[in-house]
Amino acid sequence: MKCAKCGKTASKYNKDGFPVCSTHARVKISPPKCPNCKLKMVIREGKFGKFWGCVAFPMCDGIQKI
Ligand SMILES: [Zn+2]
Ligand SMILES: [Zn+2]
């Protein structure tokens, strides 16, 4: 898994459930906004690993790499 903040290898999950590296273990992670509809994004897991997916999926298929 990858750190939701910097993309480096994550070693744990923070209290909000995001994968984080040791550097960002206590950093608050705010979800990015969907590039399509500007709603917030949530972590989803697909066959290629975790990614940010639009909260409005499947109505909106906006995704972003973590
Ligand atoms: Zn990090
Ligand atoms: Zn969207």
What's the pLDDT tens digit per position in 14-51?
987 888 999 999 998 888 999 999 999 998 988 888 88
Same domain flag for 37 and 25:
no
Mark whether 35 and 65 lie in a shared domain: yes
Q: 25 C-alpha vs ligand 1 centroid, how far in Å?
A: 8
Task: Let me know whether 20 and 51 are in one domain.
Answer: no
What are the CA-CA distances from residue 3 to residues 25, 28, 38, 61 (Å)?
9, 12, 23, 22
The alpha carbon of 22 and the centre of ligand 2 are apart by a number of angstroms equal to 30
Q: How far is the CA of 23 from the centre of ligand 1 (A)?
A: 5
Ligand lying closest to the C-alpha of residue 52? 2
pTM recorded for the entire structure: 0.64
In a shared domain, residues 20 and 38: no
Q: How many whole angstroms from 57 Cα to the centroid of ligand 2? A: 7
User: Does residue 63 share a domain with residue 39?
Assistant: yes
**Do both 1 and 15 map to the same domain?**
yes
